[in-house]
Structure 1
Amino acid sequence: MREIEEIGNVEELYEVLDMVGDGGQGDLFLGRDRRSGERVALKLQKARNLGPESVFRSAAKNLLVEGSRMMRLTGIQAIPEIIATGTHRGRRCLVMEFVEGRQLHDVLLAKRPVRHPRTVASVIGQLCEILREVHDRDLVHCDLKPDNVIVQPDGRLRLIDMGYAIMENEPTDYERGTLGWASPEQSDACPSGLTRRADIFGLGCILLEMTVMRLPYGGLEERAEQGCPVLPADRLAQIPPEFAALALWMVRWEAEERPADVREVFDLLRPHLPRLGSGRPSKPLRPDPTEYYRTHPPRL
């Protein structure tokens, strides 16, 4: 695995333009390559606040770790390429491939609830294909949510933000992920290490959010507690029958009770995927994720 190129002052090579995202692990800016004119994405560590210098230095180190994780995923088409690292006004910065498209969150917001089987299967199926490649390189993403998925104009999905990613089975000493989508084992330190089943939980959360507009175990309202109902009875009844058993299997509280691998999930989605050469749904999402399977054979 090659090392990330260190370019020093980012502004010497890249023009920093508008801020386009504000995440817990850093701020995302649109940038422009001064040599080629091409757009890039720039992820900067958060600006220093009134906290100690040690916290700011730790955040810089974490951003570089994220860059190294992305380097491990080089060659996976659905993961943005990491180009270089540098510094912008005292803040560490990652220079990455710019991904054209819309966040899955915004795409779904216009059409929720999304219950058309081919559309649901196309979204979750594409994410299974991406995660299979990530997991095959022994990484767990740890932050699957619609904000971290980009739908390109051609319907192809891209997975972004490796800020919480970790090597599979690597022990953790603090919580990782986002409330509502994080699996129970991500909510605290996990001495035994996180596995790919944590990502399968997040994938199940996306499926439920699409179809019944509710996250499991209290969702965003409160931290999940064991024994809490997965969903209120009325929302359970609204899960499309094609996906009900699968969705509930993916979000089981105990990790070992979930599917062991995204291939198991994909096999249950396969009957609902659009056929190659078929027409688009009557009310497609825009961009339309079914276009991917209508023009490409499945890769799992």
Structure 2
Amino acid sequence: MSLCINPNCQNTDNPDNLLRCQTCGSELLLEGRYRVTRLLSDKGGYGDIYEVRDRSDIPKVLKVLKEEKKNDVKAVEQFQREAEVLSKLNHPGIPQGEEYFKFFPINIQQPVHCLVMEKIEGENLHEWLQKRGNRPISEKLAVDWLNQLANTLHEVHQQQLIHRDIKPSNIMLQPNGQLVLIDFGIARGISKTYEQKKLAGQITRAVSDGYSPLEQATGNATQQSDFFALGRTFVHLITGIHPFDLCDQYRNHI
């Protein structure tokens, strides 16, 4: 089965032996190599996430295609930044980005922006914690996970980047126990231009409630801000309680 990713296609299912969608006529073999096999996550107007096969891979390796359909300047800028970041990072705790391209569906003026990357199997830690009834993790597991994520963050920071969105839902637990940090859409590079924009108050504020530090809420995130968010993440994991709810419980006991 091949799926058509034209947002306006009325029937996206196609057999594998076609180059173009039998309903809308859009390409099915994207960039001459990627065939979309199934929908993994429906994000509505923001773009979906699909599983894809790459004809150039032997043996066949399943990958993920992430799309951006909004096409406003800020959304596309963030999407392209994520593609750039993932393509230059090479670490077991970070998904490997493979290719960014634009897909032009039939009868649609604006392109769909696409990013093909390594498929990460498993559950994010928010889902994982919920499925175990929000039972706190053990001290031994916390130390193991903290070592893994600190090592991953070191690699991110060595590339002069700030992730800016560390929280349980952006950390995947693979079946082999490896943690993978995902969603680099709002990551920022540290450069002279970035520092100048910070001083001018021109950095877009990006906040995950309960996890992000105050300086990030005011547009002044640094690499240390990632470690603050990592600390808040582990407060959640070792208590089983969201940081906001934990603060409320503390106030109620004063």
Could you say whether these structures have the same fold, taking a TM-score greater than 0.5 normalized by the shorter chain as the test?
A: yes
1:29-40 matches, within 5 Å, as 29-36=50-57, 37-40=60-63
Provide the rounded CA distance (Å) in 2 between the counterparts of 1:113 and 1:235.
22
Aligned to 1:185: 215
> Would the aligned equivalents of 2:81 and 2:187 in 1 still touch at CA under 8 Å?
no
Change (3 A) 1:23 1:83: farther
Provide the rounded CA distance (Å) in 1 between the counterparts of 2:91 and 2:229.
20
> Secondary structure of the equivalent of 1:12?
coil
Query: Once the 2 structures are TM-superposed, how far is the Cα of residue 121 of structure 1 from its aligned partner?
Result: 1.7
1:88-237 matches, within 5 Å, as 88=103, 89=105, 90-111=111-132, 112-168=134-190, 170=194, 171=198, 173-190=203-220, 194-216=221-243, 218=244, 230=247, 232-233=249-250
**TM-score, length of structure 2 as denominator length:** 0.71
> Would the aligned equivalents of 2:54 and 2:63 in 1 still touch at CA under 8 Å?
yes
| Structure 2: segments with no counterpart, 5+ residues | 1-28, 106-110
Aligned to 2:72: 56
Instruction: Find the partner of 1:86 among 101, 113, 125.
Output: 101
Change (3 A) 1:60 1:87: same
Q: Residues 216-262 of structure 1: CA distance to partner in whole angstroms, max 9, x if unpaired?
A: 3x36xxxxxxxxx955328999xxxxxxxxxxxxxxxxxxxxxxxxx
Aligned to 1:44: 67
Provide the rounded CA distance (Å) in 2 between the counterparts of 1:24 and 1:185.
31
Structure 2 counterpart of 1:79, which letter? I
> Secondary structure of the equivalent of 2:72?
helix
Provide the rounded CA distance (Å) in 1 between the counterparts of 2:45 and 2:217.
16
Provide the rounded CA distance (Å) in 2 between the counterparts of 1:139 and 1:41.
23
Aligned to 1:260: none
Query: Once the 2 structures are TM-superposed, how far is the Cα of residue 199 of structure 1 from its aligned partner?
Result: 0.8
**TM-score, length of structure 1 as denominator length:** 0.61
> Would the aligned equivalents of 1:142 and 1:165 in 2 still touch at CA under 8 Å?
yes
Query: Once the 2 structures are TM-superposed, how far is the Cα of residue 133 of structure 1 from its aligned partner?
Result: 1.3
Percent identity over the alignment? 27
> Secondary structure of the equivalent of 1:87?
strand
> Would the aligned equivalents of 1:214 and 1:235 in 2 still touch at CA under 8 Å?
no
Change (3 A) 1:114 1:214: closer
Provide the rounded CA distance (Å) in 1 between the counterparts of 2:215 and 2:47.
24
Change (3 A) 1:71 1:27: same
Provide the rounded CA distance (Å) in 1 between the counterparts of 2:252 and 2:238.
9
Query: Once the 2 structures are TM-superposed, how far is the Cα of residue 156 of structure 1 from its aligned partner?
Result: 0.9
Provide the rounded CA distance (Å) in 1 between the counterparts of 2:136 and 2:44.
26
Provide the rounded CA distance (Å) in 2 between the counterparts of 1:106 and 1:235.
28
Provide the rounded CA distance (Å) in 2 between the counterparts of 1:236 and 1:115.
24
Aligned to 1:281: none
> What is the CA RMSD across the aligned residues, in angstroms?
2.9
Q: How many pairs are equivalent?
A: 208
Q: RCO greater where, 1 or 2, for CA within 8 Å and sep 6 or more? A: 1
Change (3 A) 1:231 1:168: farther
Change (3 A) 1:34 1:72: closer
Aligned to 1:10: 30
Change (3 A) 1:122 1:231: farther
| Structure 1: segments with no counterpart, 5+ residues | 1-8, 49-54, 220-228, 238-300
Structure 1 counterpart of 2:63, which letter? V
